[in-house]
Each structure stands twice: as structure tokens, then as C-alpha cells.
Amino acid sequence: MARHILVAVDLWVDVSLEFLRHLCADWESILSLFTPGQHPGLLVKASAGAGDTHRGGRSVMLLRFHAGLQLVYKPRSLAVDRHFQDLLTWLNEHGQRPAFRTLRLIDRGTYGWTEFVVASECTSQEEVVRFYERQGAYLALLYALKAVDFHAENIIAAGDDPMLVDLEALFHPDVRVKLSMAERPATRAVADSVMQIALLPQRFWSTNQFEGVDMSGLGNAQGQLSPHAVPTWQGVGTDEMKIIRERVTLPGHLNCPKLNGQYVQAVDYISSIVRGFTSLYRLLCARREEFLTALLPRFAHDEIRFIARATRTYATLSVESFHPNMLRDALKRERLFDRLWMAVKQQPYLTRLIPAEREDLLRGDIPLFTTYPDSCDLFTSEGKRIPDFFDEPSLKLAGERIQLLDEQDLQRQIWMIRAAFASVSLPAIDVPEDTTRALSAGVTVEHARLISAAQAVGEQLCKSALRHENAADWYGLTWVKEREWRVTPAGLDLQSGLPGIILFLSYLGELTKDTRDFALAKSAMQTLHGELEQLKTHLDLAATSGMSICNMLGSCIYLFSHLAALWHESAWLDEAEALVVLLSEHIEKDDMFDIVDGAAGCIASLLCLYTVAPSSRTLAAAIRCGDHLLASAQAMEQGMAWRTSRHEMLPQGFGRGTTGIAWSLLRLAAVSGEGRFQQAAAAALTYERRLFSPVKPGSVDLRGGMSWSYGAPGIAIGRITSLPHVDDATIREEIEAALRTTIAEGFAYNHDHSGPNHSLYHGDCGNLEALLLATRELDAGTYREHLERLTAQLLDSIDKHGWRMGVPLNVETPGLMMGLAGIGYQLLRLAEPERVPSVLMLAPPVV
């Protein structure tokens, strides 16, 4: 500790004297630029530590003079800042509206001075609109310049001007330059999108117990809790003062505009952001050649920063290194920094950086690495050169991106903007008025209209597909652990991933005989198969992938069972049976149990395969899943139930509830002949009946729901398809009650996600499955009338308003349960239920 104190004091003296020398040397220039004609008076305050410390304790300093002048001193080159202001001026001169405000600054090569930006409120609604239009324009410009790290701390809202106050992460180098065969097109598309700038809302560090934080430039951190417990003082001013660890409330930043004293949320101004983004994007396209030849080269020799790791990683290590236990023993403190090696397996390029990282951390600094846009070399904080660290200079990569700007890319980036806001929004869905207005009874839906509507979905999936050689891929919004939305490449699950898309395209091709749909399904299968091969070489990943509809193993077993029948290729059965072997190693690790995420869904997938290709191994795996459910059940006062990490006890419903578990156990009992599964199913139904509302007929559970996953529609589906195994007056009454509730409430307003939508998971398409099954299995003409009317309503809604996704803000997403593929699939099923099996029931192919 003594050694570190001596070093810290010496560095402080050196840095302070250096600052004063620079101030004296530049005084006349400062007077001329920042306060012409008026002397600022004495320096009355110099606040260091306005940013992280680098290069021997140097940090940004905020200065205040007696007459009120405020300046910012930055101990780094401001060449990139100067050239960025020149670029803003050029854009203003060529039509950027609303115009950008520029900053006055002095660049002295290794340090510089900039004007202090004072945060201020907007004075009108029009100013708020202009603020967000400028943010959209900045987003387009930063995208073109391959920028990163524009989080909340680096932006100040000055009236209707968002001011970018830290530009060292422009032209950020890429350590993954070439698209390898192992890297998916969708992965690269997300990585190279506007999402990487950190300006758009994104939620980080979320867990089952913590919702995460949004630190983006367009987010508002006010009131959020820190993602991890941090050292804080307790009992300050007493003899019991000590350090404890706890989550603290994060301070608000100055990035969000205010109107009438209230923060104005960016999500309410998405259209303004998109308008500003589109305008500047097209301006760059129109002035592309001049931009590339006259403006971009000016940045070639400007020092920029390479962010090798998240600053939080360095900051955490630095804070921990000053714990008394570490300061007692220098060797122990140095060993702490060996944790830097933990990320090398995933990011091997870090190996060359760790010696410099350790030196900076030992000195008390946050590690710093710099480069130049026209260089492939990297430099440490002490100026040591790491040659050829990058494959290509970032200026070249930025030029290539600018060359590729076009309308197709513009639309993809606009999708990313909307998806980013959706990912942090409440699960409400913006729906136009009259979207679900009921039609009169007696409507007949033509077969051709349903097929045509499904073909339109197929065409949109074809249009949105990303291609690389013979592979096709997509990205979309994924509902992760029923906790948050994320923008991700299409996963390996049936819910939002490639298996669901392939399943729909395969059935579309089968019904229409259109070879384009088959070809697209085959191309998507190339991507999926490549991912599977990689996974087989990393078996530890399979442990985190689960077993059922929402994961790779169960989803691919189900998909391959269908492809073997649809494509007449028995090799897919071999692929499915190989996955059964892998799955069997992880059955007892399941702690979700339900259809969507647990052993119940796994049973359904395995029985689908068993129907197509009977095998003792497949049946044995299904029985193990059933026994796992029985072993995990908890005896209740009446019946049995399952406790999960998300639910105290599973609610009622099919996808996420007890109905689905009981249904899967009944099916398993019928196939295996094992009576214990029948008894367990009966006990599960007994428990579930306790959750039924005594006032309203049907099923309104404790969290509300009117969908396949929760509530009446799913209960109707489960009970109807359980009739071959259990048929009594109680079951029949529950079916009638569930169908009545579904008809009355399942289409006018979707309680699960606060608005009507067309999705399978919690929308019209999924709820129609209950009525379709009722017309086919109950032989009830009255249900057919409702089915025809509501199907016509669905088609009219699609014609009038387009597809309504089961995601926030109605962001188009390709997946099966929440998006396009599911809407298209159910349209096919409504057209030809004899040929298209129920995917909500994980039904086997019709052979």
C-alpha cells in the first residue's frame, strides 16, 4: 500500500504540473477562442477525474474561472474531435436539417481544450422533436464511421442539441474482419449494425433476479440499480464505519432531454429518430464520393481508441485490487490481475494485450490502447507498438461500409432501431384502431385466400433472408427466459429460431409445390446444420440448451422428424436419433418442466419422432423425461404441482402451465403403457382445477392470460386432445367453459401482452387452434361458425393493417411462435388441417 501511495502522489504531482504548464502555454489561444474581448479571471476550480484515468493518472479536467468561463481539458489528441466538427460543418452546408451544433476546441497534439457544454431543457415540443431528429442523424453518421461506445455519459442534452462529448471511439477497429464459414451471416449483420454504437437502448447484465440496466445514449439510467453489488461506506461519521457491498442507485446522466422539468423518453419519438436517421443516411449516399475522397481521409492519422474489454471489467479489477487484503501483499494483488486470462479462450487476441493491461492496472489506471484509422498496429498507453494487430485498417473498413450504403441496408438499420426500442419496452403492442373488429356471422373463408396469405409470408421471409454462399439466415427479436427481448440471430429453437422458419417453409413448399420455398428451407438448413456441427464439438454448450420446444435439442428432433417425411430423406431420422443420445445426458438438469422449456415439451418431441420411427432408445428417453417430472413434482393438498425458478408453482395453461404437463404425461402413458404417468396426469389436473376462477367460467389464472401459453385457449387445446385418454363430464365441462372464454375474450383483446396480435404464442393464430380442434374433434357445428368468422377477421386484419407480431412495437420478426413463420404456418393449417399438423401440439407429420 505504501508503495502505491508514493506512486499515486508522484503521478498526481506530475500530472498537475503538466496541466498548469499547458494552461500557461495556451492562455492566449484560450482567450482568443473561448472568451474574446473578456478576461475570464483567475482559475477558481479544476476538477480532475471527470473520466477514467489513463497514461499515468491523467484524466479529463473540468475548469471554472472567476468570470464564469468553463472549459474542458483533455489529456489526449483532439485531432479526431476537430475533424468531426469539420465534418458536421460540411454536412450542414450540404443540407443537413436540423443543422448540427459544432464545438469550439483547441488541439495541441497530445492534449487539448474544448468548450464546456451546459445541459439545458427544451422549451417546446418542437425542440424535443428536433433533438431526436438530430439523434437519428448522429446515429446514421456514427454508423457510417464505425463508431462504438456512445453511451449515456458521452452525450449531453443542450436544449434541442444532443452534443457528443467523447469521440475517441470513432473508426473502431474490427478484430473480426472476414466472414468465415463458421460465422453466420445474421451474427455478422447484428455485429455490424447500428446496435453496436451503444446509442440505441439495450439491456445488459440481466439475470433471473435482476432486470438489467440500460446505459445507452438514448436511454435514461435514472433510478436504475447497479448490476452488481459495489463497495459502499456504511456508518459514515461513526466509530462503526465500514465498507459493505450492495447494489446502489445509479446516478442520472445528462443525455436525456427535459421538457417542463420532466425527462422525455426516446421511445415516444421513434418516428423522429427514424426520420433523422433516414435523412442523413440518404444525404451520405447522395454525397458519397465527396465524403469518401475529401472528408474521410482527414481522419487517417488521428489517434483513436481501441476498446479491448468493457471498462466495467477493468474498473471492477481495479477496485478489488485496493481491498486491504490485496494491499497487504503485492504478490496477491498481482495475482488478482491474472483473471484477465479468463477471456482468452473466447478472444485469443487478448493474449498480446495482457502485459500492458497489467502494467496499467498496477499503476491504478484503466488500461488504454490506441491506434490510427489508417494503421493495423496497436499501441499501449506507454506508446509501445503491437504490430499488425488488425487485419485491415479501420479507415478502409469505414470506406467499404460507406460504399455499401443503399436502400436495402437503410431498411435493415431502421429495423434495428425499432427492435432496439422494442427490446427495452414494456410488452405492450401498438395496434391501430379497429384491428380486430369482428365481422358478421356466416362468413366463409376461401381456401385460396388462406394459401395466398401464407405465400405472402413466405415471400417476406425470402426478402428478409441474409445469404452467404448456399446458406440463408435471419435475425429477429427473441423472448429470453420470459424476462426480456433481445435482438439476436435466429436461434436453434422452434420458438424464434431457424427450426420454426424451416418447418413453415417446408410445409409451404409441400402445399404449393413452389420450389423456391423448398430451396429457401434447404438454404436455412445449411445454416442450422452448420451450427449443430459446431455444437457437437462443444458438448458443454448442450448443457445450457435445454430440451424442449424453446431450445436446440427438442426443436431439432421435432423438425427432423417432419423433414424426413416432407423431404422423403430418411437421413434426418438418423440426425434426430443422434440428438436423442445427446439429450439423454441432460434430462435430469431440467428445472422448468413445462412444454416450452422443460421435460413436458421434450416428451412431445420424442413421441413425435417415435411415431415416425419407433425406437426403444427414443421411448426410453421419453420415459426418463416422464420419471423426471414425477420425481420433481410436489405433493399439494389436492393433486401435484411443479415449482420453477420463474413460478412459485406453475400456473394453468398449456405452453407454460400445468395443462401441458398433464397432457404430455397422458400421451406418454398411452404410448408406454406405464400407469404411473396416467395417475400423475390426473393429480396435475386436480391441482390445476383449484386455479380456475369460481366467478368467470373457464380459466383466468393468477397472472392473467388468454393464449396458448397461459389461460383458456391452451386449456381448451390440452383438454380436447386429451379426450382419447381421459373423457368424463368434468373434462367436457372444462372444454366448453374454456372455448366460451376463448371466443368471448381471446380475439378482442389479448391480456398476455396488452393488445391483439396475430401470433401463435399469444395471439389470434394460436387461439384459433382451439376452435379448429373443437370443429374437428367435437363435431360441433356452432364452433365451426365461430372459426369461420374469426378466421375471416384475421385475414381482414392482415389485409388492412399487415401482420401483427407478438412482440413490442410490432417489430417484424421471422420466428414461429411470435412472428411471421407462425402466422404463415397457421394459415396453412387453417387451409388444410388434414395435411398440416398442429405445431402447438408438437404433432407428428401426417404420413
pLDDT digits (tens, 9 = 90+) for 115-159: 999 999 999 999 999 999 999 999 999 999 999 999 999 999 999
pLDDT number for residue 179:
43
Q: Is 388 left (phi over 0), alpha (psi -120 to 50) or beta?
A: left
pLDDT score recorded for residue 639:
95
Give the C-alpha separation, 226 to 221, whole Å.
10
Residue 702 has pLDDT above 50, yes or no: no
Cβ neighbour number for residue 81 with a 10 Å cutoff? 23
pLDDT at 693: 62
Listed residue (630, 616, 127, 145) closest to 402, CA to CA? 145
Assess whether pLDDT exceeds 80 at residue 547.
no
Average pLDDT over residues 630-646: 91
Q: What's the whole-model pTM score?
A: 0.92
Q: Which of 434-443, 771-780, 802-811 has the lowest mean pLDDT?
A: 434-443
pLDDT of residue 748: 62
Taking residues 207-219, report their average pLDDT.
81
- Confidence bin at 177 (pLDDT 50/70/90): very low
| Confidence at residue 538, expressed as pLDDT on a 0 to 100 scale | 64
Mean pLDDT score, 486-493: 94
CA distances from 797 to 362, 434, 565, 760, 823 (A): 63, 9, 34, 15, 12
**Taking each helix axis from N to C terminus, what angle separates 447-464 and 820-831, rounded to the nearest 10 degrees?**
160
The pLDDT tens digits of the residues spanning 368-395 come to: 999 999 999 999 999 999 999 999 999 9
Least confident interval from 301-305, 507-511, 749-753: 749-753
Q: Counting Cβ atoms within 10 Å, is residue 592 exposed (0-12), middle (13-18) or buried (19+)? A: buried
User: Can you give the pLDDT at residue 749?
Assistant: 42
Distance CA 530, CA 528 (A): 5
pLDDT at 701 over 50: no
Cα distance from N-terminal residue to C-terminal residue, the chain: 76
The answer to whether residue 228 scores a pLDDT higher than 80 is: no
Please state the rounded mean pLDDT for residues 245-255.
Answer: 84
Q: What is the pLDDT of residue 207?
A: 67
**Span of 453-457, 555-559, 601-605, 687-691 with lowest mean pLDDT:** 687-691
pLDDT at 248: 83
CA–CA distance, 675 with 655 (Å, rounded to integer): 24
How far, in Å, CA of 274 to CA of 137, rounded? 8
Per-residue pLDDT at 697 exceeds 80 = no
**DSSP secondary structure code for residue 117 in this structure:** P
Closest CA to 477 of 195, 224, 747: 195
Closest CA to 830 of 782, 773, 750, 756: 773
Q: How far is CA 294 from CA 99, 168, 400, in A?
A: 20, 21, 15
- Mean pLDDT across 729-736: 93
- Per cent of the chain over pLDDT 90 is 75
CA 188 → CA 193, 394, 528, 535, distances in Å?
A: 8, 16, 16, 19
CATH class given for the domain over 449-838: mainly alpha
**pLDDT digit string (tens) for 22-63?**
999 999 999 999 999 899 999 999 999 888 999 999 999 999
780 exposed, middle or buried (CB, 10 Å; 0-12, 13-18, 19+)? middle
Choose the weakest-confidence range: 146-155, 549-558, 745-754, 833-842.
Answer: 745-754
Instruction: Quote the CA–CA distance of 790 and 793 in Å, as a whole number.
Output: 5
For residue 299, what is the DSSP state? G
Q: Say what the pLDDT of residue 847 is.
A: 67
- Which long-range contacts (C-beta less than 8 Å, at least 24 apart) are formed by 344-353? 347/175, 349/175, 349/389, 350/308, 350/309, 352/386, 352/389, 353/308, 353/378, 353/386
Q: What is the pLDDT of residues 703-720, one digit of tens each?
A: 357 899 999 999 999 999
Give the domain ranges of the chain.
449-838
Does position 432 have pLDDT exceeding 80, yes or no? no
Average pLDDT over the chain reads: 90
Top pLDDT among 139 and 468 is at 139
Tell me which H or E stretch contains 542.
helix 539-542
Does residue 602 or residue 699 have the better pLDDT? 602
Partners of 204 in the beta sheet? Answer: 213
Average pLDDT over residues 677-699: 80
Does 762 belong to an annotated binding site? Answer: yes
